[in-house]
Amino acid sequence: MADIGKDSKMAKRQAMTKSPLALAKLALKTAQQVLPTYSDLRSRHDFTQAQVFAILVLRQFFKTDYRGIVKILQEHQNVKDALCLNKLPHYTTLQKAQQRMLKKTSSRECLQQFSIMPETAD
């Protein structure tokens, strides 16, 4: 019986692409609809929350750490262009952003959609 519920939960999740470029575009679009542009009015505004979110999704896609995703983005200009990145964030920017996003309800739902955080048991 427990397996049926588990299967129905899994069926609701969209099939993910194997293209990092397509995933980056989808994550950016989703985050732009859900997240505020910046986490704080006084922030430096170097990167939008949507851009950072998309990078965090790509980090999970590539199964790498924060430094690894920065290195990958350095080597993939087409992904940087899709995310409208003029420069790359420092790896600690990504780490702090993920911790901050996990605390916010709207961000948590968006993060769960892209499997960046474990689902909580209800």
26 contacts: CB under 8 Å, gap ≥ 6: 17
pLDDT above 60 for 84: yes
Looking at residue 8, its pLDDT comes to 45
pLDDT above 80 for 3: no
Looking at residue 62, its pLDDT comes to 94
With CA atoms as reference, report the closest residue to 94 among 83, 82, 109, 78. Answer: 83
pLDDT above 70 for 72: yes
Looking at residue 122, its pLDDT comes to 45
Which range (41-50, 93-102, 104-113) has the least confidence?
104-113
Cα–Cα distance measured from residue 119 to residue 42, given in angstroms and rounded to the nearest whole number: 32
Contact 91, 72 (CB under 8 A): no
Contact 68, 59 (CB under 8 A): yes
Per-residue pLDDT tens over the stretch 7-32: 444 445 555 678 999 999 999 999 99
pTM above 0.85, yes or no: no
Looking at residue 43, its pLDDT comes to 79
Cα–Cα distance measured from residue 5 to residue 26, given in angstroms and rounded to the nearest whole number: 27
Cα–Cα distance measured from residue 62 to residue 47, given in angstroms and rounded to the nearest whole number: 21
